[in-house]
Structure 1
Amino acid sequence: MDPLTGPAPAHRRFHGKGVVMKTPLAIFLALVVASFAGGCATGPKYQEYRATIPPIPSGQGRVWVYRPSKMIGAAVQPLVHLNDVVVGKSQPGCYFFADRPAGDYEVKTATEWADKLQIKLLAGEEKYVRLTMLPGVFVGHLKPGEVPKEQALRELEGCRLITADGAGAR
């Protein structure tokens, strides 16, 4: 206690070596941690799921979409479109696939602006699209890019399956 001013306000009292944390800050930090934990996919990891992957339907190809980074831009999770049809949500550390008839496709994500990738899908073929986080003016954006199968399979190892609505597959 200061003999001139009396007891210190509660937020400035010392507890051991540090200052007692204000309740609003503690609540804020708890909410931040909970929001990241709540956004995590609970689906199977790729190495667990690969043995159960169904065959590609006749006359169709398969487009794999994944986002290997779990930390950078975790709050940015735009929808992923194939020819303007929503096929999934770009959650960090997650993957999904869409089977589509052979043909030309545009893979698109959008935040501040739309990033697009053109692919040609053949019957029985698998394409791998990696979503890479890039800085933006106000919010980051995800750029889709086609990658070789070998690279994609390595990067998919730590990713979890999600459904089109972004929920973990059960």
Structure 2
Amino acid sequence: MKNSLRSLVLTALFIAITVVIQALRMPQPFTGPLVNCMLLLSALFVGPIAGILVGLITPWVASLVGILGVPALIPFIMLSNGIYVLGFYLGRKLLGKKVLGSAAGIAGGAAVKFLLLSLAVNFIVEVPPAAAKAMQLPQLFTAIAGGVLAVLAAKLIARSGRKEQF
């Protein structure tokens, strides 16, 4: 399989798995970390563009299945997902693929995602208090948890015979 076809197929697979996770409509403490995990796994396996693409689709799916009650937040979630993936990617690119780079990438990406969503619900988009609360600290925690899950999953996959180093 050519590299571009492989990338396309893997990206589609990550999108499909992420859509299924969202369609299950599990509580946010489960769905959030799993979706964030998929963003970073797609970036690890395919590249940052794939992670960003998955992150662009997730808020639309969340809105369609009823997880996201405020459609006006979709552009901000799309942007914050992209920044989360880029932060993770840059942390690993600049500081290495070991613990330091991964931790810095997760923390940096999660912090910027949290800040962007907090700014959006506090100053840009008028949302109910419950939605505003859900778009702040829980987003930071689910982004960090999802990042840790992604790195652990990638390590396990690498040990199972995959050739790339994560």
TM beyond 0.5: no
Specify the TM-score bucket, using the shorter chain as the normaliser: under 0.3
The structure that has the greater radius of gyration is: 1
The structure with the largest helix share of the pair is 2
State TM-score, norm by structure 1.
Answer: 0.25
Q: Which has the higher strand share?
A: 1
